[in-house]
Amino acid sequence: MASRTTQILEAAARVIARRGVRGLRVEELAAEAGVSTGLIYYHFKDRTGVLRHTLEFINDRAERYTTARDPDAEPLGPREELEQILLLELQDTQEVRENSSAWGELRASAVFDPVLREDLARATLVWVQEVAALLGQVQPMAPASALASAAERLTALLEGLSMRWLSGGIQVDHARALMQGAVEAELAGLKPR
């Protein structure tokens, strides 16, 4: 059974997806989670604490859905795994939508809130390194610096495309196609000549 804190964090992800970080009211969160405001503060100290834990929570959740695999299925090659990780963030499902909008909100909020910056930078670094490692498996001859740059570009592009998708600028299928094109272009650029 989901613990109380998990229940609150799931609700927080929903509220953030609906109202944004800016629009998250502790009272509305309490109502969404079906608990009292006092309990929120008991578990998370303050509003910022909720935000920080929610960031952690959505990261773990994203980890789950981008990494989860049917144990009976063929193991994926690095190229497939790379695309999996990047393209699964561009899906029109409840969970991904929540994750993406929360992530975008946190990123935007971090511009003006130094408290969020550190956590965000750390999470971003882990993500970039993961992508860089996969790129390295696909193109083992590529220098580490080139892998790092490609990974930074791909992840930054994904954030940019997500925002366009969520703000209604482009369809999710189109975003996926663009992302896929970028992966191909970056891999081509890493190929030894």
Candidate residues 14, 20, 35, 178; the one interacting with DNA per rule CB under 7 A = 35
Does the footprint of DNA cover residue 39 (CB under 7 A)? yes
Candidate residues 13, 17, 21, 24; the one interacting with DNA per rule CB under 7 A = 24
Distance CA(99)–CA(101), nearest Å, equals 6
Does the footprint of DNA cover residue 26 (CB under 7 A)? yes
Q: How many other C-beta atoms lie within 10 A of the C-beta of residue 90?
A: 21
Q: Which stretch binds DNA (CB under 7 A): 22-30, 93-101, 147-155, 159-167?
A: 22-30
Does the footprint of a copy of itself cover residue 77 (CB under 8 A)? no
Distance CA(112)–CA(73), nearest Å, equals 44
CA atoms within 13 A on the CB side of 119: 21
Asked if 116 and 103 touch (Cβ cutoff 8 Å), the reply is no
Least distance from DNA to the Cβ atom of residue 104, Å: 19
Q: What is the Cα 38 distance to its own chain's centre?
A: 29
Does the footprint of a copy of itself cover residue 143 (CB under 8 A)? no
Asked if 15 and 104 touch (Cβ cutoff 8 Å), the reply is no
Does the footprint of a copy of itself cover residue 49 (CB under 8 A)? no
Output DSSP code: residue 25: -
Contact residues for a copy of itself, defined by CB under 8 A: 18-20, 22-23, 101, 104-105, 107-112, 114, 117, 120-121, 124, 149, 152-153, 155-161, 163-164, 166-170, 177-178, 181-182, 184-186, 188-189
